[in-house]
A and B are shown apart, each in its own frame.
Chain A
Amino acid sequence: MLLGIDVGGTHTDAVAIDIGDAPAVAASCKVPTRHHDLLSSVTEALTTILGQVDKSAVTQLNLSTTLSTNAIVQNKTEDVGVIVSAGPGIDPHNFMPCKDFHVIDGSIDHRGNEVRALSTRQLAEAVDACRGNGVRVFAAVSKFSTRNPRHENLIRRTVCNCKSVDVCEHADFVTLGHQLGGALNFPRRVATAYFNCAVWRLYNEFATAVEEALDEMGLGHVKVNILKADGGTMPLPQSRTLPVQSIFSGPAASVMGIIALTDIFHDSVILDIGGTTTDIAVFADGAPLIEREGIDIGSHPTLVSALKVHSIGIGGDSAISVVGPEVRVGPNRLGPSVCLGGERVTLTDALNYVGACKVGDVAASRKAVDAYAAARTLTGEKLAQGAVAYAAQAIQDATRALVEEINSKPVYTIHELLEGKKIVPKKVYLMGGPAEAMREELFQRFQLSTEVPANFDVANAIGAALTRTTWELELFADTQRHVLFIPTLSYRENVPSGYDLDDAKRDAVNQLTMQLDSMGVFLKAEDAQITHASSFNMVEGYDRVGRNIRVKCQVRPGVIKTFGEGR
């Protein structure tokens, strides 16, 4: 039995799934999300579910939470000491994420050579200044640290030079930039390390509370995983040092839900029409697309990888307005729909009016729409139809823009450019509250097969429950310097001159398997996927002096089972 909980903006959804030959929903529920006490929402959902299933059969709980996201949005984060070494390039002060930000002289180049040592005097002063401000968590980031982490390691040793791993009198937690991922992007590494520290304490308190609550419920044996924004999970113990990865995992739960509930083979569009927003995702050949670099948190681009999901401010609770001759919907949400006791007419009221659905008090919707329309010399019919048409059109426009943006992404080799596919959606999948009601209108716009799967109302929790653990790593080898480095694992090894691309691919897969194994996740060989592999001859004069090898390896995000028919 697998449990999935998705803590959303309005509701916390939970499901229990029986994993037999064909997975089946054994129990599901929705409880209100209490943002000031997320744990109580989680435990309430758990209690409800456990009342309907055999507790001892539960083996796993996958949890998607808005905790870190909310902490950042509501500015409830902790002060962080951010210490960087940048060297030449763009002035790092442009990327200052907080007040305790210190740039230390020193530089490492693109191949990982230390060009200039870190100034230990400046470093000591910076650390003292942070301590003076009572800072207890630190981010250490250097440019090109994914090629050589020397400066980051030195910063960490200066911040916390304790023998014990658990207790330090100076610092509670240090994030090293290179451990966040192997991708190159110093400003993003700075921002990601900062946010990882900023939510660290809050997140860890929550993780501990969840573990304690499970213990009390007699679920101490259950393996807990946390959802990431890229459509994978990470085991709770690992998530404690990477809390930033739990940010914006909500849309990922929905997308994984659609994957679990349907059989997607083609280029497709997924529309999750919620209360305040519609999330748009695009699938290529049945696989979800991911953001090329990482998501923005606030105005800061980060390295947090995520499924490519575009949100627009149109949902069931979006208010209707009339501007000149035009009826509009959204982007504001002004309380619930009239049919559910609200004051302002919404898209859901319009859908009620035209007969596309029957939500709450349909008569109240009709009355409010008529009144709102009359005040603007319109008929209720015209207003309601106009609103529904506007919403469908806006969703279609945003979808087209997203597909166009994806199709114009840069490519780097002839192969990718000439054989590189263009995405041409052939099917639309709808989920979320107003999905069924909007289906016909959206079909009219897209003129594509439009499907609303069963269980669409708790698809996000199903997605959370079935999402598998993912991990990725980048291996970088320089045979002239005789070094192999895997940044996320801080793993460094000497390699001989003859080390080549095949060796690197094999090592990357091995390291990935071992890492997952250490997290208690069994990996089948075919689950590890090499997503990038290149080897460049390095030449000095006219002689080859070595190879510059880059390999990226991952467990592709996915679900462990699907509800697809006939399976």
Chain B
Amino acid sequence: MLKSKNTLGIIFFPAFDWAISPTHPERQERLLYTQDQLREEGLFDIEGISEYKPDVASVEDVERVHFCFPDVPSVATRSHLISAGGAMKAGDLVMEGKTDRAFAMVRPPGHHAMKVVHGSRGFCTINIEAIMIEHIREQYGHKRIAIVDTDCHHGDGTQDIYWHDPDTLFISLHQDGRTLYPGTGFPRDLGGPNAMGRTLNIPLPPNTSDEGFLMAVERIVLPILADFKPDLVINSAGQDNHFSDPITNMNFSAGGYAAMNDMLKPDIAVLEGGYSIQGALPYVNLGICLAMAGVDYSHVREPNYNAERIRQDARTTEYITELCKQLPALYFDPPEFVSRDDSRQGIISGDKFVRHKQIYYDTDGINEVQQESVTLCKQCRGLYKVETRADSGPLCLGVEIPVDACPECRAKGYQTVEDAQIKGTYRYIQLINRLDKEYVRYGF
């Protein structure tokens, strides 16, 4: 009988009763064939690979990460809470040493969900990786964590949540934002003034195949991970770089995904996108499971795989080779933050960094305007504050006292909330106090 090299916990929650709409790519059918393939392969009979049921994320688990307006139950369904709970379960398995690694094969996905949530963007509502990571940090102590987002789309939500966090390294490999939703994720985006270089974007040209992905991982990602020395490596495992994916333009294969996972050696993987539900997902997910478990994956191949037909051209190779030369410097030697006269990029005003954002929730058709500010503090990473309004709805306020808050920033956090209640015109106010593990909301 087969035995795995690493013990692997798989949390499978296909949410067979949840869909955005009957014909939407993110629908009930999405993990059906993956489930069929994993069962038919007898994956769960391999000694060392076991299946676990997901936990259900609580409202507090979500409020530890997000400012949800008007509140969590209004934006997130039970499926969302189970999907996030599935990721949390993966975190618990690894942190408690029950398994060496864990893969949360769950839906709906989460990496486009930002710090503030008014609705769904890019099929995502709440950020299941972030909810898992902050659950881990609250339960098992503060950790240095690296997230490698290998979804074809830029992980703009995860980037937004960790923009100011120096202890979280976020690396996103994705199809160049000039050619694909959400249109962001460029090398110049490096994180806020307190966390420059902790965000790194690797935009790859359309039609990149195995060669290009594996080159970028080997030459950019691995040296950075080696330097950052994270306590945990998390793979935001989107499978939509596949050559058969209907909504993207890349040429990655199941074998390539497995090899990439073998190189990254993530402690935890969380499924994100991937919409070629028949031609790719069953094979890519199988390959990743085997790679994580340390079981031979060389026989995993798509039925219609033809290496020649999807090979990237010389220009693509040349372009990626050049990226590999230039990008590492952005992490190893990040440029100083320059306050330009552009409030969308962010400006420094007094002791604060201030940024204005406009966010469009494509799935729900909502427009949001935000003003975000972070105190520039020498003692801690600073008090975070966000004022937000969805379309012409009421003005809402979010305040976060960071986990390493100095007494001054902590006091300022409480003061801000108190002032807002007395003098402000906010309909809803939410306080995230990571230092004292206190999560409060005001306004009904």
Contacts and interface: CB of A to CB of B under 8 A. Distances in A.
B290 interface: yes
A526 interface: no
A414 B17 contact: yes
Contacts of A541: 246
B300 interface: yes
B23 A88 contact: no
A271 to B, nearest CB: 27
B23 A544 contact: yes
Nearest to B32: A536
Interface string B266-303: 00000000000010001100100010000110111111
B28 A186 contact: no
Contacts of A51: none
B22 A89 contact: no
A542 B24 CA distance: 7
A414 B78 contact: yes
Contacts of A412: 12-14, 16
A213 B41 CA distance: 44
B404 interface: no
Interface size bucket, B side?
A: 35 or more
B153 to A, nearest CB: 19
Given A88-B303, A110-B36, A415 B42 contact: no
B1 interface: yes
B53 A539 contact: no
Interface of B: 1-2, 11-18, 22-23, 27-29, 32-33, 36-37, 39-43, 45, 51-54, 56, 78-79, 82, 246, 278, 282-283, 286, 290, 295-296, 298-304
B17 A542 contact: no
A293 B44 CA distance: 10
Contact of B41 (A89, A111, A115, A183): A89
Nearest to B25: A539
Given A89-B300, A90-B41, A536-B29, A300 B1 contact: yes
A510 B197 CA distance: 66
Contacts of A111: 33, 278
B41 A537 contact: no
Interface residues of A, number: 45
Interface string A509-539: 0000000000000000000000000101111
28 contacts: A88-B283, A88-B299, A89-B37, A90-B41, A90-B290, A90-B295, A90-B299, A94-B1, A111-B33, A111-B278, A115-B303, A143-B40, A184-B40, A185-B42, A187-B45, A410-B11, A410-B51, A410-B53, A412-B14, A414-B15, A414-B17, A417-B56, A417-B82, A418-B56, A537-B22, A539-B22, A539-B23, A548-B29
Contacts of A429: none
A192 to B, nearest CB: 12
A151 to B, nearest CB: 14
Which 5 residue pairs of A and B lie closest in terms of their CB atoms, listed nearest first? Answer: A187-B42, A115-B303, A184-B39, A184-B40, A88-B301
A91 B17 contact: no
Name, among A87, A413, A418, the residue most crowded by chain B CB atoms within 10 Å (CB to CB).
A413
A143 B27 CA distance: 26
Given A88-B302, A538-B29, A539-B27, A544 B52 contact: no
Given A94-B2, A414-B82, A539-B23, A89 B33 contact: no
A107 B299 CA distance: 13
Contacts of B40: 89, 110, 143-144, 184-186
A299 interface: yes
Contacts of A88: 283, 299-303
A413 B52 contact: no
A425 B33 CA distance: 37
Given A89-B299, A544-B23, A301 B42 contact: yes
A448 B270 CA distance: 43
Interface string A107-120: 10111000110000
B53 to A, nearest CB: 4
Given A88-B300, A110-B37, A184-B39, 4 more contacts: A90-B286, A183-B39, A186-B42, A538-B29
Interface string A51-91: 00000000000000000000000000000000000011111
B365 to A, nearest CB: 18
Interface in A185-244: 185-188
A188 B302 contact: no
A409 interface: yes
B53 A536 contact: no
A377 interface: no
A525 to B, nearest CB: 28
Contacts of B12: 410, 412
Contacts of A417: 53-54, 56, 82
A411 interface: yes
A539 B29 contact: yes
A408 interface: yes
B286 A89 contact: yes
Interface in A102-148: 107, 109-111, 115-116, 143-144
A299 B78 CA distance: 40
